[in-house]
Structure 1
């Protein structure tokens, strides 16, 4: 328990969340840049030479980010095309195309990478990513539209590859009955209803045959929920928000049938059925004069019913949907906490982190989730950007060990002159094996290239 407490304190100290969604302007937004980095990349047991061209532009409310890979096999000179196989193909070069800011502008739309998206207050769908693998990077769409300050609609669709069945779709209509009044607190009261559905039937074709990687979702996987929230206090320095959420994960018929037909493959003492959970939390945003210092903190108390996991639709869901569903088997009624705390300091350093931690983790079959983000402007001539996520943790002593439950990226650069920089890009991601399945791999890419900010 002491080690758990130390990890919690560390995450809560080294952390930050996106202030822009609540009216707190971040110094790390709306940057325009072009980078094209030439280097050597190891993917599995193969070596590639080439570059990734990654421009980012901001035009008023519009944002655009591209990721164009030009990698050539060092042994035979062939261009690597795996990133464009299946699905939306070359559309994957669009990392994101966005309009507006979520929860700040009346219209927000984003196309591309859905990393970091959440629905409502996040109990059902949070910490989500549709891009856990270069080979299966997806192009999704997220939108949040408010009508006359009273009615609103949030929606997320994970994959615009329209071949096959419906992919993960989540929607949340919300209602602010007093939105057009000027009554403090009361005008911010918001009621929401959430629904998520996934009928993914993706199959990986390989030399070893066809591998069904979505046995259970293809017949339908769904959840629904209700929430209410309000801004209790808002002024130039502080914003305090309260919310309450209820979520139900519907029984997956295909998984229930498999348990019934093949009881020997499962723990005979484990039960499975629909599961539900409840959570209530407070979130505070604080900024010092002239944006010198931002602080954000959230604390949420959670109650888990049998066969329920909070933030069920997260980045781990897209790594392996069948495994994620099987985590629900035998999950017993318990409680937990979700916490995040962060800072943006002097418009130079931004750090964020979070922890979802069930009570009595050692005796629970639910896993914890940890996450840390880091971003800096140039300090001297150095700059860093990193992200780390790990799910399904049963021992916080393993929180920072990279394995099949992890996603990580760290980029450290050194500016050579106004237009050139060198650095190292480290990725812990997922890549396709010869048999068509996916495994966690690491990629280390030293590079030198063009980097222009304007």
Structure 2
């Protein structure tokens, strides 16, 4: 432990000196931030055991987070040591949390354990002609999001960080606007959730103001390990799991782009295993440059699951896979999605919520996950608006209005219940170079029927 602390101290001093030197060199668009943090964090005692309240303990935390950028290129590291100081016969002993460094203790491969030491690596931003990002994601989306939308690989933070990747290349980068591709991998160490979208602009060379921006795309997304986070009992009941592959076609057309209103129209047709299919058409955009809106009408085949790879997919993927094993039953039905929100003060405040579900009444007996409405809301306050405070929050809820034992049978009561919910919040307070952060995550574990709560308290100095 002493060697680790000395090593971190030396690296810290090196980065601080390097950053200060580059800050004085205005000839290069170089950016550097460095964060040295101390705090506490709730982690599983044994990562191989079920993540229940009895398998959680609080550890001290020492972290080193350099963040380097040069133009559109950025790299962030997250080197963290968790430990506890315990009294021993000859004084105090320092117990290092071994799953941070030993793959066997963490029940991970070498890449699973060490790739996440990179918080992120990026080039550009989503929507640029060339965009690449590797690390944590809360917004993994392909096309219109009907197959993969807002996929997140951060659902197991703070105890587990997963390292994913995205690479988008638009032909406009090569002055060839007719073709483009989007790719996404949820976990580069496992390649379990993967997807790609290839699109064309067939009228890019014409002078038609609308049609020249029309995109026609094809998407394929797969999960090679759909029972990855399922309990052993669930795996035994299901048996060997096959790869889930979903494919579809889509269109996207910007219609308006003015300071008063912007609007894009889009449509999708997707196919899931065992003959399941679904389609949708919708619009979305901004009003007076601050009101965010969206609406979709959906025509869905029996037991089709819209946005199969969604924001909380890693928590519910085993339930979705189990639903796919049943033969599709019932009739074609209509569904809907509505979203509303606002973006104020140059995105200093962002709020957006969406609600989707079927038009048909929920079944009297417990049905599948797509028989009930689903809510997702996000809220962000950027630093600088309220003195040194900043805030990020997520609330996602499934099975709204489902009968017992999953729900109460009442939509409004289930809306504020923790059951089948995913709740995340991060509070930050900055005063000068010092930052205090509180991270709180609550998620309902449908396998055990228990709530898993993890939290982290962090104080840091940024240079």
Under TM normalisation by the shorter chain, which class is it? 0.7 to 0.9
Alignment map for 1:98-247 (pairs within 5 Å): 98-103=122-127, 105-134=128-157, 136-147=160-171, 148-162=176-190, 167-200=192-225, 212=235, 218-247=241-270
CA contact 2:81–2:100 (8 Å) conserved in 1 = no
Alignment map for 1:336-351 (pairs within 5 Å): 336-347=335-346, 348-351=348-351
Decide whether aligned partners of structure 1 residues 279 and 154 sit closer, same or farther in structure 2, where only a CA change above 3 A counts. Answer: same
Aligned partner (choices 317, 323, 332) of residue 319 of structure 2: 323
CA contact 2:229–2:318 (8 Å) conserved in 1 = no
Aligned partner (choices 411, 425, 435) of residue 421 of structure 1: 435
- Distance (whole Å) between structure 1 residues aligned to residue 113 and residue 449 of structure 2: 18
Alignment match, 1:264: none
* CA-based RMSD: 3.3
Shift of 1:441: 1.6
Alignment map for 1:377-388 (pairs within 5 Å): 377-378=383-384, 379-388=386-395
CA contact 2:230–2:318 (8 Å) conserved in 1 = no
**1:379-404 Cα deviation digits (max 9, x unpaired):** 0232222223233433453234334x
Alignment match, 1:397: 413
- Distance (whole Å) between structure 2 residues aligned to residue 244 and residue 296 of structure 1: 19
SS in 1 for 2:116: helix
Decide whether aligned partners of structure 1 residues 441 and 201 sit closer, same or farther in structure 2, where only a CA change above 3 A counts. Answer: closer
Shift of 1:143: 1.7
The structure with the larger Rg is: 2
Shift of 1:444: 3.2
Shift of 1:236: 4.5
**1:68-112 Cα deviation digits (max 9, x unpaired):** 332213557422243563142111122321212222x21111112
Decide whether aligned partners of structure 1 residues 311 and 396 sit closer, same or farther in structure 2, where only a CA change above 3 A counts. Answer: farther
1:297 partnered with 2:304: no
Alignment match, 2:380: 375
Alignment match, 1:91: 115
Aligned partner (choices 290, 305, 308) of residue 309 of structure 1: 305
- Distance (whole Å) between structure 2 residues aligned to residue 125 and residue 360 of structure 1: 24
1:449 partnered with 2:463: no
- Distance (whole Å) between structure 2 residues aligned to residue 149 and residue 234 of structure 1: 19
Which ranges in structure 2 are unaligned for 5 or more consecutive residues? 1-29, 44-52, 87-92, 403-410
- Distance (whole Å) between structure 2 residues aligned to residue 195 and residue 325 of structure 1: 17
Q: Which fold has the larger relative contact order, with Cα–Cα distance below 8 Å and residues 6 or more apart in sequence?
A: 1
**1:157-180 Cα deviation digits (max 9, x unpaired):** 222225xxx522211111101113
Alignment match, 2:15: none
TM-score (norm 1): 0.74
- Distance (whole Å) between structure 1 residues aligned to residue 264 and residue 239 of structure 2: 37
CA contact 2:362–2:372 (8 Å) conserved in 1 = no
- Distance (whole Å) between structure 1 residues aligned to residue 302 and residue 427 of structure 2: 44
Shift of 1:120: 0.6
Alignment match, 1:49: 60
SS in 2 for 1:352: strand
Which ranges in structure 1 are unaligned for 5 or more consecutive residues? 1-29, 252-273, 289-293
Decide whether aligned partners of structure 1 residues 139 and 121 sit closer, same or farther in structure 2, where only a CA change above 3 A counts. Answer: same
Aligned length: 384
CA contact 2:84–2:94 (8 Å) conserved in 1 = yes
Shift of 1:411: 1.9
Deviates more, 1:191-200 or 1:418-427: 418-427
Shift of 1:205: 12
- Distance (whole Å) between structure 2 residues aligned to residue 102 and residue 367 of structure 1: 31
SS in 1 for 2:96: coil
Shift of 1:419: 1.1
TM-score (norm 2): 0.73
Alignment match, 2:334: 335
SS in 1 for 2:319: helix
1:67 partnered with 2:66: no
CA contact 2:178–2:202 (8 Å) conserved in 1 = yes
